[in-house]
Amino acid sequence: MTRRLVLGLGGSVDYEITWSSEVIEELAESYGVRADELGTSPPITDERSLVVSVLGYFVRGVGGEHHVASPDVLETFASRLPRKVTLGGTGVRAGLALARLGVPSTLHLVSVNEHFRRLLPQECSWVTSAEQDSIEPHLIVQWDSGARVRVGETELVAPFPNRLIYVNDPPNAEMRLSRDLPAALAEADIVLLSGLNAMQDERTLAARLDELRSALTSLPDEAFVYYEDAGFHWPAFSGLVRAALLDRIDVYGMNEDELQTHLAREVDLLDPVSVRRAVTDIAVVIPARTLVVHTKYWALAAGERAERYAPALAGGVAMASTRYRFGDDFTPAQYAEAADLPFNEAGAAFAAAMSGHGLCAVPARSITAPAAATVGLGDTFVGGFLGALARGALAREGATVWT
């Protein structure tokens, strides 16, 4: 029996930009951007600082998320490049991925508009705190591995494909909760919490956390709660969220960028010694029941019962692999093909060395995709992880296995 999923807390309309090295080079030249600026992280107040931010991430091949001072900056930059309008937010993208497999879910939204009504499939019902329509697009910038951009006399080469998210979104910054959320939670078996990273005011965040804790009391005792981390616009807010919610969270998930941000250091993702140390250190910062880290090479669970999440980790890898290959419109048959794809050799060697003693690692698949979809892969992993739970894994630490 498929379990009932409630996925929140926010959603967005995304402008997915088609990368053009030529356009980025022209912007860098017109604004006099220098290669030695690209290690800095200035506030993004105009188009020049946005270009500096994009290129700083591009040259390292890593992703991130940032607040932008004005929506006009986003609109100006987006107008220079071809774009596709999609729906975003971890809960929304997880729900969209599950819908491709016919798995229904209830989304919690803080804004609605014509794009949500047009693009959400029938499998995704929703509750919302929005009282009127509004559109606050998120700018999504993605590139392929090996993409090149010249800045002055320096040629920058992207070592990995990745994506960036730039946001000016008052509804997600306010994160008002729907009055219908407690009723939805009362019927839930699995709950996803995410999106609090976009909040801008500490007092507003504290109020929302109080309201959220109150709403979570509606959950059935056996319900499972997954929290997905993200790039906090105000890093100090991350600790406030953990302090308020960690005791209600069964699995705390993050990607490699968020792991390294929390640790304030780079982690060699294929070195078991480096990753074991990272897992040990992150457990001090985030003492979760079970921690999940998903990366381009592997996905890992750490905790006393980590091995119980092996099927869910595999489900997350399969879903992300499928979307990487085929984009948003993949079919159930294409999802099934993921089980036959070869493992990433380096990831497989890592997973074999890491599993056991409170750790469980699953390698990613080896994939060649001429037009890979890098936007929302972490969100899609979460959808696959929760979908595997909904179809057959355990509900809570110590619970019996679902059949």
What would the mean pLDDT of 39-47 be, rounded to a whole number?
Answer: 87
Say if CB 360 and CB 372 are below 8 A apart.
Answer: no
What pLDDT score was predicted for residue 63?
84
Contacts of 135 (CB under 8 A, 6+ apart): 13, 111, 113, 115
User: pLDDT digits over 152-202, tens only?
Assistant: 999 999 998 888 989 899 999 999 999 999 999 999 999 999 999 989 999
Domain ranges of the chain: 5-14+88-133+170-392, 15-85+137-167
List phi, psi (to 5°) of 163: -145, 155
176 vs 401, more confident: 176
At residue 237, does pLDDT exceed 90? Answer: yes
Say if CB 73 and CB 84 are below 8 A apart.
Answer: no
Span of 189-198, 245-254, 282-291, 363-372 with lowest mean pLDDT: 363-372
What pLDDT score was predicted for residue 400?
28
CATH architecture of 5-14+88-133+170-392: 3-Layer(aba) Sandwich (3.40)
What pLDDT score was predicted for residue 39?
80
Question: Quick one: fold of 15-85+137-167?
Answer: Adenosine kinase, small domain (3.30.1110)
Distance, in Å, from the CA atom of 346 to the CA atom of 344, rounded to the nearest integer, reads 6
What pLDDT score was predicted for residue 362?
96
User: pLDDT digits over 119-144, tens only?
Assistant: 999 999 999 999 999 989 899 998 98
pLDDT band at 370 (very low <50, low <70, confident <90, very high): low
Give helix 90-100 / helix 377-392 axis angle, nearest 10°.
Answer: 60
b/e code 210-223 from CB counts within 10 Å (16+ = b): eebeebbeebeeeb
What would the mean pLDDT of 304-328 be, rounded to a whole number?
Answer: 93
pLDDT band at 305 (very low <50, low <70, confident <90, very high): confident
At residue 333, does pLDDT exceed 80? Answer: yes
b/e code 229-249 from CB counts within 10 Å (16+ = b): bbbbbeeebbebbbebbeebb
At residue 9, does pLDDT exceed 70? Answer: yes
Contacts of 112 (CB under 8 A, 6+ apart): 126, 128, 130, 133
User: pLDDT digits over 44-86, tens only?
Assistant: 999 999 999 999 999 998 888 888 999 999 999 999 999 989 9
Give the distance, in angstroms, between the CA of residue 222 and the centroid of all CA atoms in the same chain: 25
Mean pLDDT of the chain: 91
pLDDT band at 303 (very low <50, low <70, confident <90, very high): very high
What would the mean pLDDT of 258-263 be, rounded to a whole number?
Answer: 94
What would the mean pLDDT of 343-358 be, rounded to a whole number?
Answer: 92
What would the mean pLDDT of 275-293 be, rounded to a whole number?
Answer: 96
What pLDDT score was predicted for residue 41?
77
What pLDDT score was predicted for residue 371?
63
The pTM is what?
Answer: 0.87
CA dihedral 315→319→321→323, nearest 10 degrees, is 180
What pLDDT score was predicted for residue 399?
34
What pLDDT score was predicted for residue 396?
37
At residue 395, does pLDDT exceed 80? Answer: no
In angstroms, the first-to-last Cα distance of the chain is: 7
